[in-house]
Amino acid sequence: MSLHVTRTLPEDATGAALRADVVDGLTRTPKSLPPKWFYDTRGSELFELITDLPEYYPTRAEREILRDRSGEIAAASSARTLVELGSGSSEKTRHLIDALTSLEAYVPVDVSESALLGAGQALAAERPDLAVHALIADFTAPLELPDTPGPRLVAFLGGTIGNLLPEERAEFLSAVRGLLAPGDALLLGTDLVKDERVLRLAYDDVAGITAAFNKNVLSVLDRELGADFDLDAFDHVAVWDARHEWIEMRLRSRTAQTVKLPGVNMVVDFAAGEDLRTEVSAKFRPEGVTAELAAAGLELTHWWTDAKERFALSLSVAR
């Protein structure tokens, strides 16, 4: 197996992006932070615990679809190159990689160099015939993919598309379409609209692990920016927005307080009861997914759900 690693992110890109997001988000009304800052080492560990919680169904539901339907996905796409956006450890795509019998190249894309190298090395033992082109990049920024054989299948899994606001989703899907030649395909994971109680529990578990995960973003700011957030001064809140059909995770200030962030030369006031939005997780209906893909120049051709119809994988083709 050949393993090629390409870095498109400058060395301080992560730090610069964090500072920019903090300045932008904490000067907005209402205040907000992008969810990508949850995932330092501790945050990633907490998220792995969340995926095993009885209340948190999305990971299990998506794995069920990949386990049961990867053969159909492979047959429908005939992909010789698989591109995975936000690949992490690439664990969830193993069923798909195994099913793609014509696969010649795998292009995992992630901001984490260690995750990409770990995944590439693991695949070396399993698929010596596979060329792996690891791309250290932010998939929300413009991408330039390596020259690999078509057809290409771009996978964006985990329901991560739901973390983008509608205008951001439109921009992202259009950018993905720009990476595809006619006949190439997008495999998209979307969490589906369901009973509000099920959704609330998935983001506010009894054990409090999601609360710890949510508050961890404040630990990231304390460490990276020298901030003095007191995690005990904020409560974890999960709210279902029925109008937009999304869950919002928030941190609610218990008291009026002032927080200093020397790393960005800021002082931020929070009123008692004021919310800091840390994540939007949109839930989807089939007709909405079809319309958003069509607006980006992608035609939805296949739709698979888990047995309980909680989560969906869709395959759409570039026209």
Identify the CATH number of the domain in which residue 312 sits. 3.40.50.150
pLDDT exceeds cutoff 90 at 142: no
Q: Provide the pLDDT for residue 282.
A: 98
As a whole number, mean pLDDT of residues 207-221 equals: 97
Q: Please, what's the b/e burial string for 174-187 (b: 16 or more CB within 10 A of its CB; e: otherwise)? A: eebbebbeeebbbb
pLDDT exceeds cutoff 80 at 305: yes
Domain that holds residue 92: 1-225+284-319
| Residue % of the chain over a pLDDT of 90 | 80
pLDDT exceeds cutoff 80 at 140: yes
**Mean pLDDT value across the chain:** 94
At 285, is the pLDDT very low, low, confident or very high (cuts 50, 70, 90)?
very high
Q: Count the helices and strands in the chain (H runs, E runs).
A: 9, 14
244 within a domain of the structure (yes/no): no
Contact 315, 73 (CB under 8 A): yes
232 within a domain of the structure (yes/no): no
Contacts of 214 (CB under 8 A, 6+ apart): 38, 236, 249, 251, 278, 279
112 within a domain of the structure (yes/no): yes
Which residue has better confidence, 212 or 116? 212
pTM: 0.94
pLDDT exceeds cutoff 80 at 77: yes
Q: Provide the pLDDT for residue 125.
A: 73
pLDDT exceeds cutoff 80 at 1: no
At 255, is the pLDDT very low, low, confident or very high (cuts 50, 70, 90)?
very high
Q: How many domains does the chain have?
A: 1
242 within a domain of the structure (yes/no): no
In this structure, what token pair is assigned to residue 94?
């193993």
Q: Provide the pLDDT for residue 22.
A: 98
77 within a domain of the structure (yes/no): yes
Q: Which long-range contacts (CB under 8 A, 24 or more apart) does 223-229 make?
A: 223/40, 224/15, 224/18, 224/263, 225/18, 225/19, 225/22, 225/261, 225/262, 225/263, 225/264, 226/261, 226/262, 226/263, 227/259, 227/260, 227/261, 227/262, 227/263, 228/259, 228/260, 229/259
Q: Provide the pLDDT for residue 116.
A: 79
| Residue % of the chain over a pLDDT of 70 | 100
270 within a domain of the structure (yes/no): no
295 within a domain of the structure (yes/no): yes
As a whole number, mean pLDDT of residues 237-261 equals: 98
At 128, is the pLDDT very low, low, confident or very high (cuts 50, 70, 90)?
confident
At 4, is the pLDDT very low, low, confident or very high (cuts 50, 70, 90)?
confident
259 within a domain of the structure (yes/no): no
